[in-house]
A and B are shown apart, each in its own frame.
Chain A
Amino acid sequence: MNFSWDRFVSGLPQAYKLFGRMFPPNIAPDKLDLISTGMLETIQIAIIATTVGVFLSLPLAVMAARNLSPSWLAASARVFIAVCRSFHPVIVSILFVKAVGFGALAGVLALIVSSLGFIGKLFAEVLEELNEKQVEAVRSTGAGFFSVLIMAVMPQVFARFIGLSAYQFDSNLRNSTMVGIVGGGGIGAALFTAYQRFDYDVVLTILILIIALIMFAELLSNILKRIFR
Chain B
Amino acid sequence: MNRSLQIVNAQHWERLSATERMGRAVFYIITVVAFIWALKKIEVIPEFLYDAPEQTADLFKRMWPFDWNFYPENIHPALIETFHIATLGTLISLLIAVPLAFLAARNFTSSKTLNWTAQFIFVSTRSVNSLIWALLFVAIFGPGALAGVLSIAFRSIGFVGKLFGEAIEEANRGPIEALTSCGAPRSILLVKGYWPQVSPAFWSVALLRWDINIRESAVLGLVGAGGIGVALESAMNNLYWDQVGLILAIIFMVVIVTEIVTSSIRSRII
How many residues of chain A are within 8 Å of chain B by beta carbon?
61
**Is the Cβ of B216 less than 8 Å from the Cβ of A8?**
no
Q: Point out the residues of chain A lying under 8 angstroms from B44, CB to CB.
A: 103-105
Is the CB–CB distance between B216 and A11 below 8 Å?
no
Do A181 and B140 touch (CB < 8 A)?
no
Binary A-proximity of B21-49 (CB < 8 A = 1, otherwise 0): 00110010001001101110111110111
A13 vs B43: C-alpha distance when bound (angstroms): 42
Q: Is the CB of A44 within 8 A of B126?
A: no
Quote the shortest CB–CB distance from A156 to chain B (angstroms): 7
Task: Please indicate the chain B residues that have their CB under 8 angstroms from the CB of A91 in the complex.
Answer: 218-219, 232, 248, 251
B49 adjacent to A100 (CB under 8 Å): yes
Give the contacting residue for A215; candidates B55, B127, B251, B252; CB below 8 A: B127
Given A43-B38, A45-B42, A210-B127, also A88-B52 (CB < 8 A): no
Query: Are A207 and B41 in touch, CB under 8 angstroms?
Result: no
A28-84: which residues lie under 8 A (CB-CB) from chain B? Answer: 40-41, 43-45, 47-48, 51, 82-83
| Docked pose: A7 CA to B138 CA in angstroms | 12
Q: A210 to chain B: which residues have CB within 8 Å?
A: 127-128, 132
A15 at interface, CB cutoff 8 A: yes
Knowing A18-B139, A156-B1, A211-B128 touch, does A2 contact B55 (C-beta < 8 A)?
Answer: no
Please give the distance in Å from B247's CB to the nearest CB on chain A: 9
A118 to B127, CA, bound (A): 18
- Distance A210 CA – B125 CA, assembled complex (angstroms): 11
Q: Does A177 contact B (CB under 8 A)?
A: yes
Q: Tell me whether A98 and B59 are in contact (CB under 8 A).
A: yes
Assess whether B190 is interfacial by the CB under 8 Å rule.
Answer: no
Q: Is the CB of A105 within 8 A of B49?
A: yes
The binding surface of chain B is classed by DSSP as helix
Q: Give the shortest distance, in Å, between A214 (CB) and chain B (any CB).
A: 3
Residues on the B chain within 8 Å of A174, using CB: 126-127, 129
Please report the total number of B residues contacting A with Cβ < 8 Å: 62
A-B CB contacts (within 8 Å), total count: 156
> Which one, B126, B132, B145, contacts A191 given CB within 8 A?
B132
Q: How far is the CB of B72 from chain A (nearest CB, A)?
A: 19
Whether B41 lies near A40 (C-beta < 8 A) is yes
Residue of A nearest to B144 (CB): A3
The answer to whether B91 has its CB under 8 Å from any CB of chain A is no
A8 B146 Cβ-Cβ under 8 A: yes
Closest to A224 in B: B27
Instruction: Tell me whether A90 and B222 are in contact in the complex, defined as CB-CB below 8 angstroms, given that A1-B84, A3-B145 are known contacts.
Output: yes
B-side interface residues toward A, CB under 8 Å? 1, 3-4, 15, 20, 23-24, 27, 31, 34-35, 37-39, 41-45, 47-49, 52, 55-56, 59, 81, 84-85, 88, 123-124, 126-129, 131-132, 135-136, 139-142, 144-146, 149, 215-216, 218-219, 222-223, 232, 236, 248, 251-252, 255-256, 259
Can you identify 30 A-B contacts, CB atoms within 8 angstroms? A1-B81, A1-B84, A1-B85, A2-B144, A3-B146, A44-B41, A47-B37, A47-B38, A48-B35, A86-B215, A87-B248, A87-B251, A91-B219, A91-B248, A100-B48, A100-B52, A104-B43, A105-B44, A105-B45, A105-B49, A177-B129, A185-B43, A191-B132, A192-B135, A195-B135, A203-B135, A207-B128, A211-B127, A214-B123, A218-B123
Q: Which residues of A approach B to under 8 Å, CB–CB? A: 1-3, 7-8, 11, 14-15, 18, 40-41, 43-45, 47-48, 51, 82-83, 86-88, 90-91, 94-95, 98-105, 108, 155-156, 174-175, 177-178, 181-182, 185, 188, 191-192, 195, 200, 203, 207, 210-211, 213-215, 218, 224, 227-229
